[in-house]
Amino acid sequence: MCGIFGIINDNNNQAATSVLEGLKKLEYRGYDSWGISIISETEIKIDKHIGKIGEAKTNLPVGLIALGHTRWATHGGVTDNNAHPHLDCTKKIAVIHNGIVENYQGIKEDLLKKGHQFISETDTEVIAHLIEEKSKLKKINEAIFETFKLLRGSNAIAVLDFKTQTIIACRNGSPLVVGLGNNQYFLASDVPAFLKETNKVYFLNDGEAVVLSNSGVKLFDIETEKEKKLIPQVLDWKLEDAEKGGYPHFLIKEIYEQIKTISKTTSINEKEISELARKINSGYKIVLTGCGTASYCALAARYFFAQQGVDAQAIPSYEFMPFSKFIDKKTLVFAISQSGETADTLIAVKEAKKRGAEIVAVINARGSTLERLADIVLSVGAGPEIAVVSTKAFTTQLSTLYLLTTAVANKYEEGKNKINRLGKVLTKWLDVQSINRLISLAKRLMDEEHMYLIGKHLNYPATLEFALKIKETSYIHAEPFAAGELKHGVITLIQKGTPCFVLASNDEIKEEVLSSAAEIKARGGLIIGVAPFESSDFDVLIKTPDLGDLTIFPNIIVGQLLGYYLGVGRGADPDKPRNLAKSVTVK
């Protein structure tokens, strides 16, 4: 939530423009307003606007040092004044912030008594004034560290200081990464902002601060205020990973990338998978957790474990607490997350850790808080996922967990072959004809306001994920149900012409699913089959490849694509759906 990007020593003396370009790459983190501050000759100058950055330009003067922000509002409405950066009274300190300062009211009251003037309703502005107050007696670094220690909640702050011509940033809970370029230094909440310039990075840990200056980057421990050694790492990410590469949107690019990313999971994590399979076979309990799409991945993985005779619990992270008492030292808690920064997931993981569980992080982004908390990391290797809506992270997480279930049953090689075949089949299946069929279906459904979906067993979590893609990307109400639930109440919703998706595989329960479809059809519903077989119950069929238990992958991809085409057709921004942020770092 909220994107941070700062530059020291911009190569072209156009730091504000470079920050603006970098912020465009981070817009998925928040997009209700944006702002940039730059050190000019005499003072800090600021440019702030509500709305998406889109094709925005900035009129800020030239300069070497700038710091900017894209906002996802928490405290204070979406106004120019509430957009970051926020200045102190002297206009020599600019602050941007990711997180929530839980105790800002009390701090603000004290500062008001001391005569500070506030122009926004945000919690962030108190940070600028508190630093100003403290810097009257202390060096700027010390003033910032002391201020940061007083803030309650999960926060990352970045400060542009006119006097020392530095950017100083502190982290506790919200991500920050430093990029070490060729005589240029970057601070960002995510790597894509500066990947064009460097892949040499340092991910800050909680409790660490950095000072970026003309002469380089220094790392500090905030508590002791002592300098630490900064050991950078070189990422194997390529520039293309963070660019649209000829596609109109990141979402459609990332949907297509699954052709490669799913198969790639067969060549990574081998050691970790075999260690985990051994633990599971020695009697460890399994709990799978995550939020949103990741929680549907947890549920689908539960069905895959059950296929191999292994019991696993799937608990959404925000509902974890009542069940945490069942967790002990012999529990493996699989925390599934694209970002590794989702607050609810981290809270569940910390609780599980307290109870002695071993934490397995199933993650995509690197250097996250979850990665640090984990005992074992299954990094799913999908590369940067820029669209807010999760696609390739989900399918790589699920294929990684699928591989683990096969390893538990001593069928890892077979599992790998099946996943590799899935990759190949997807490449053929996603041809022009299939896409045109989906586009015509999207055109037919464009004006619908309600849709329903049914699926049974493995296709049940698939309907949850399919429906979420439709809702997020097109804003159409799409409600998923287990097929068996239908006659227990839900069937009242069906009217003449109501679109109902029926997700199915060529398995022993397909007849049961088709009976449910027939019940909907008898009430006038328009039955859209998403399945690898034909049936007279389907009014429309989106035929998916027959891949046995892996058929749910293409079934879900139909939902991703349909959501995308419906969203585009209805004028929504598929990369940045309204009200959403890519990583939800608040409770």
Minimum Å gap between C-beta 442 and ligand F6R is: 18
Nearest approach, Cβ of 267 to ligand F6R (angstroms)? Answer: 23
Q: Does 529 bind ligand F6R (CB under 6 A)?
A: no
- Contact range with ligand F6R by CB under 6 A, out of 13-21, 148-156, 334-342, 556-564: 334-342
Q: Which residues contact 284 (CB under 8 A, 6 or more apart)?
A: 330, 331, 332, 358
Q: Does 265 bind ligand F6R (CB under 6 A)?
A: no
Stretch that binds ligand F6R, among 150-158, 193-201, 333-341, 417-425 (CB under 6 A): 333-341
Confirm or reject binding of residue 339 to ligand F6R (CB under 6 A). Answer: yes
Residue ranges of the alpha helices (H) in 412-498?
412-429, 432-445, 459-474
State how far the Cα of 230 lies from the Cα of 488, in Å rounded to an integer: 60
DSSP string, 190-225: SGGGTTTT--EEEEPPTTEEEEEETTEEEEEETTT-
Q: Between 345 and 395, whose beta carbon lies closer to ligand F6R?
A: 345
Q: Which of residues 293-322 bind ligand F6R (CB under 6 A)?
A: 293-294
Q: Which of 124, 147, 155, 337 binds ligand F6R (CB under 6 A)?
A: 337
| Residues sharing a CB contact under 8 Å with residue 542, sequence separation 6 or more, in sequence order | 437, 438, 441, 528, 529, 530, 558
Residue 206 Cβ vs ligand F6R, minimum distance, rounded to whole Å: 17
452 touches 478 (CB < 8 A)? yes
Residue nearest ligand F6R (C-beta atom): 292
Q: Please answer whether residues 289 and 315 qualify as being in contact, where contact means their C-beta atoms are separated by less than 8 angstroms.
A: yes
Please check whether residue 83 is in contact with residue 71, taking contact to mean a CB–CB distance below 8 angstroms. yes
- Residue 244 contacts residue 253 (beta carbons within 8 Å): yes
Residue 297: active-site member: no
The active-site residue out of 108, 253, 521, 582 is: 582
Nearer to ligand F6R, 190 or 472 (CB): 472
Rule CB under 6 A: say whether 573 interacts with ligand F6R: no
- The reply on whether position 567 binds ligand F6R by CB under 6 A is no
Binding to ligand F6R, residues 382-441 (CB under 6 A): 389-390
Is-catalytic flag, 500? no
**Shortest CB 579 distance to ligand F6R, Å:** 12
Check if the beta carbon of residue 206 is closer than 8 Å to that of residue 220.
no
Among 122, 154, 583, 585, binds ligand F6R (CB under 6 A): 583
CB closer to ligand F6R out of 280 and 586: 586
Query: Crossing angle, helix 552-569 and helix 459-474, to 10 degrees?
Result: 10
Identify which of 388, 391, 392 has the alpha carbon closest to the alpha carbon of residue 578.
388
- Find the shortest distance in angstroms from Cβ 117 to ligand F6R: 37
Give long-range contacts, CB 8 A cutoff, 24+ apart: 423-427.
Answer: 423/259, 423/260, 423/262, 423/263, 424/263, 425/545, 425/547, 425/554, 426/258, 426/259, 426/262, 426/545, 426/553, 426/554, 426/557, 427/259
Under the criterion CB under 6 A, does residue 82 sit at the interface with ligand F6R? no
Which residue among 2, 170, 291, 297 is the active-site one?
2
Could you tell me where the DSSP H helices lie in 233-380? 250-264, 270-281, 293-307, 343-354, 369-373
Q: How many residues bind ligand F6R (CB under 6 A)?
A: 16
Does 342 interact with ligand F6R (rule: CB under 6 A)?
yes
Q: Does 18 bind ligand F6R (CB under 6 A)?
A: no
Report whether 374 contacts 360 (CB < 8 A): yes
| Separation in Å, CA 46 to CA 61, 91, 95, 315, 370 | 10, 10, 11, 45, 35
Tell me the window of 41-49, 142-150, 196-204, 331-339 that interacts with ligand F6R (CB under 6 A): 331-339
Question: Smallest distance from the beta carbon of 566 to ligand F6R, in angstroms?
Answer: 15
Q: By CB under 6 A, which span of 89-97, 269-277, 287-295, 445-453 interacts with ligand F6R?
A: 287-295
Residues with a catalytic annotation lie at: 2, 582
Q: Which positions touch ligand F6R (CB under 6 A)?
A: 290-294, 337-339, 342, 345, 389-390, 468, 472, 583-584
